[in-house]
Amino acid sequence: MEIAQKNRLRQAVRRALFGLLPSWALTERVENADRAVFLTFDDGPHPEHTPKLLDELARYGAKATFFAVGGRIAEHPEIARRIVAEGHTLGHHSYHHTDPSHTTAAQLAEEIEKTLALAKEHGLGVLRFFRPPHGKLTAGKLGRLMRSRQSTVLWNVDTKDYSCDHEWEIIAWLERNPLRPGDIALMHDNHAVAPRAIGAVLEQLQSSGLEAKALTIDHL
């Protein structure tokens, strides 16, 4: 099959899947978000970048969602506790962040159990939101997640912050591609760029009358 045909088929399967499943199970954009946008940060907590990001979010009174890697929560539980204490939503992003093509549904389920137990142990509450590494899922993995009452959250805006060397690149990209209400934007808190860009990004949002909010179950 040609690559273009394969891509069209994948898109069709994806659209059908999103249409069939309840929105709590799988979402990539929030409907009826009013003026809210949802900034999401993957791959932390990072000892330097995540606290900087939290300082900036606090300065602007903005909230976000963090998809933390279990193994990194184990290394920096105090940062995960700060995320929760400051009113952001803590989601999870597997325990090891292994390439999803090397992870079976059973292995993923094990990693999720391990992360949920760790969160409980550190007083981080019951985590409800999951983002698969690289956003890749199979039907088998999604089924397991649904059985564990986990909401899988993808994104509809990829800022590609991880490939930027300077914050102005992401600020300029968002000026050309402004966020709209309900958008779920992918960023990362294990890189220096997001904490440096976030102030300007939040100012852009405020000047457009938009508000950065943390994802809650009511949004799905």
Question: 60: how many CB neighbours lie within 10 A of its CB?
Answer: 15
In sequence order, the β-bridge partners of residue 96 are none
From the list 11-19, 22-30, 131-139, 169-177, the region that binds Zn ion by CB under 5 A is 131-139
Minimum CB distance to Zn ion smaller for 51 or for 132: 132
Minimum CB distance to Zn ion smaller for 42 or for 111: 42
User: Does the annotation count 55 as an active-site position?
Assistant: no
Catalytic annotation, pick one of 93, 188, 191, 219: 188
Minimum CB distance to Zn ion smaller for 51 or for 133: 133
Q: Is 43 in the site for Zn ion (CB under 5 A)?
A: yes
Extended beta strands in the chain, E state: 26-27, 36-42, 65-68, 89-92, 129-130, 151-153, 157-158, 184-188, 211-212
Q: Is 189 in the site for Zn ion (CB under 5 A)?
A: no
In sequence order, the β-bridge partners of residue 42 are 67, 188
User: Does the annotation count 183 as an active-site position?
Assistant: no
Candidates 26, 42, 64, 153; binder of Zn ion (CB under 5 A) is 42
Residue 145: partners with Cβ closer than 8 Å, 6 or more residues away = 25, 112, 130, 152
* Residues annotated as part of the active site: 42, 188
Q: Which spans of this chain sit near Zn ion (rule: CB under 5 A)?
A: 42-43, 133
